Amino acid sequence: MTHALAEPDDAPTPDRARVERPDSVAAAAALLRDSRGTVLLRGGGTQLDWGGLATDPDLVVDTSELAGVLTHNPADMTASVRAGTRLTDLQDHLAGDNQWLALDPPTATRGATVGGLLAAGDSGPSRLRYGGLRDLVIGVTLVLADGTVARSGGHVIKNVAGYDLAKLVHGSLGSLALVAEVVVRLHPRPAVSLTVAGPADAAQATAAALALAASPLEPAAVEWVGGADFGTLYVREDGSAAYVETAAARTIQLLHTLGVAAHTLPPDEAGGAWYDHAAAVIGATDETVLRVSSRPSELASLVRHAAEAARASGVSLHVVSSAGLGLHTFRLRGSEPAGHAQAMTATRDHAVSGGASVLLRQRPPEVNELVDALGPPPSTAALLGQVKAQFDPAGRLAPGRFTPWY
């Protein structure tokens, strides 16, 4: 069944907040320096539900006007962009030189921006080969809550000047600083992509991901889409025609030894499969969506316990796992908010007890009133609070996002 990708919601704006759209770093710095009160930083608005919900800010800083490609050096394979640039617009610009920013998050189709993706720590299937955005950023310009402009890195891939601020704000959900400009390293667009697919349960998908990681093969993505009992494993090979054909054949052989009857998908079928995969990661608006980061070997155990929690709570479970990375998306669907809350809490508690980290990415409003959005604090909560105090001592940015952790 083909799922329609969710359209981006109209970017939500708190009732009493005023909205400002600075069009330059200087304008953003002046806005934050000359304003008072709490601030919500907003890019494409695709990740505002992640973690705790920002509560009643006085000011919304929208980066839609802080957009555009500043420089693109095809020979050095680098580009600098304003952070409000939509990823899809950047990829269109780079395509003329047969290059791309090796990032394919499902939220890109909903208008996710480069700065927002860095702040959210979002990625996609290609992270297995190319790394996440934190690995692709070589320079960043930030605007702190008091209007101070801070820069690190530069336009050269081996530049190591200054603190690595990009990694610091990666995943901070707008709580530390406004990402204003980003310098990224690029990759050649793959000449050919082939997708190998086969029916597999979570245990088989786990075994396949581990076997592929131990083999000489270098797949661009290893993804499993399934439910409580069964699913489909997808392995994508990118590169030259000769390479991907050989790699696909060897992947099929390896999967057959694990009991997965895999085959190469025709191009149109592969395109549809990856489209459905992106929609499945995002989920529907009436679903509760959890992102679990664990060891790749934990997939089968996590699915088993999540399935038990879902059945006990009267909700259905759908899973999309970057099996090779240990990044798993659990989607819960059901008519009763209490069932969502019960299944979500039980799934998170089990995952955290095993050393995983969990981020609540989406929930219906009725569910939000029944759950602790963040869950138990990590052992690093005190350190994170100290970082927050250094960057934003007045606590202006993303009010409530990490409450009650800090």
Q: How far apart are CA 357 and CA 359, in angstroms?
A: 7
Mean pLDDT, residues 20-31: 98
Tokens of 307: 């399935």
Q: Is residue 98 over pLDDT 60?
A: yes
- Nearest in space to 236 (alpha carbons), one of 279, 187, 273: 273
Question: 34, 73 in Cβ contact below 8 A?
Answer: no
Of 190 and 335, more confident = 190
Positive or negative: CA dihedral 294, 128, 373, 166 = positive
Does 258 share its domain with 169? Answer: no
Q: Domain holding 196: CATH number?
A: 3.30.70.3450
Does 153 share its domain with 56? Answer: yes
Does 172 share its domain with 201? Answer: no
- Chain-centroid distance of CA 186 in Å reads 19
Q: What is the total count of domains within the chain?
A: 3
Mean pLDDT, residues 5-21: 63
Tokens of 223: 């993804």
Reduced to 3 states (helix: H, G, I; strand: E, B; else coil), residue 351 is: helix
State the pLDDT confidence band at 229, using cuts at 50, 70 and 90: confident
The rounded mean pLDDT for the chain is 93
Q: Which residues pair with 256 in a beta bridge?
A: none
Amino acid 13: pLDDT: 58
H helix or E strand, kind and range, residue 391: helix 381-391
Reduced to 3 states (helix: H, G, I; strand: E, B; else coil), residue 51 is: coil
Mean pLDDT, residues 94-104: 97
Does 7 share its domain with 85? Answer: yes
Positive or negative: CA dihedral 262, 266, 270, 273 = negative
According to DSSP, residue 286 is labeled T
103: domain range?
A: 1-189+376-406
Does 306 share its domain with 165? Answer: no
Q: Is residue 326 over pLDDT 90?
A: yes
Q: Which of 228, 250, 279 represents a domain boundary (last residue)? A: 279
Question: 200, 299 in Cβ contact below 8 A?
Answer: no
Q: Which residues pair with 320 in a beta bridge?
A: 225, 329
The sheet that has 69-73: what strands, in order across it?
A: 69-73, 78-82, 178-185, 137-143, 149-153
Tokens of 366: 């009725």
Q: Domain holding 138: CATH number?
A: 3.30.465.10
Q: Is residue 273 over pLDDT 70?
A: yes
Does 162 share its domain with 50? Answer: yes
Assign 3-state DSSP to the chain and report helix, strand, coil percentages, each to 5.
35, 25, 40
Q: Domain holding 336: CATH number?
A: 3.30.70.600
Amino acid 228: pLDDT: 83
Number of H helices, E strands in the chain: 13, 18
98 contact partners, CB below 8 Å, separation of at least 6 = 188, 189
Choose the weakest-confidence range: 5-19, 72-86, 287-301, 333-347.
Answer: 5-19
Of 56 and 34, more confident = 34
Mean pLDDT, residues 294-309: 96
Reduced to 3 states (helix: H, G, I; strand: E, B; else coil), residue 262 is: coil
Does 19 share its domain with 162? Answer: yes
State the pLDDT confidence band at 1, using cuts at 50, 70 and 90: very low
**Cα–Cα distances in angstroms (integers) from residue 120 to residues 87, 107, 210, in the given order:** 14, 11, 27
Reduced to 3 states (helix: H, G, I; strand: E, B; else coil), residue 182 is: strand
Does 15 share its domain with 130? Answer: yes
Does 213 share its domain with 261? Answer: yes
Question: 368, 338 in Cβ contact below 8 A?
Answer: no
β strands within 12-169, DSSP E? 18-20, 39-42, 59-62, 69-73, 78-82, 99-100, 137-143, 149-153
Amino acid 335: pLDDT: 84
Does 85 share its domain with 215? Answer: no
State the pLDDT confidence band at 92, using cuts at 50, 70 and 90: very high
Q: How far apart are CA 72 and CA 92, in angstroms?
A: 13
Does 162 share its domain with 228? Answer: no
Q: Which of 222, 244, 279 represents a domain boundary (last residue)? A: 279
243 contact partners, CB below 8 Å, separation of at least 6 = 237
Does 250 share its domain with 217? Answer: yes
pLDDT digits (tens, 9 = 90+) for 148-184: 999 998 766 555 555 789 999 999 999 999 999 999 9
Q: Which of 258, 279, 300 represents a domain boundary (last residue)? A: 279
Tokens 């000359």 locate to 34
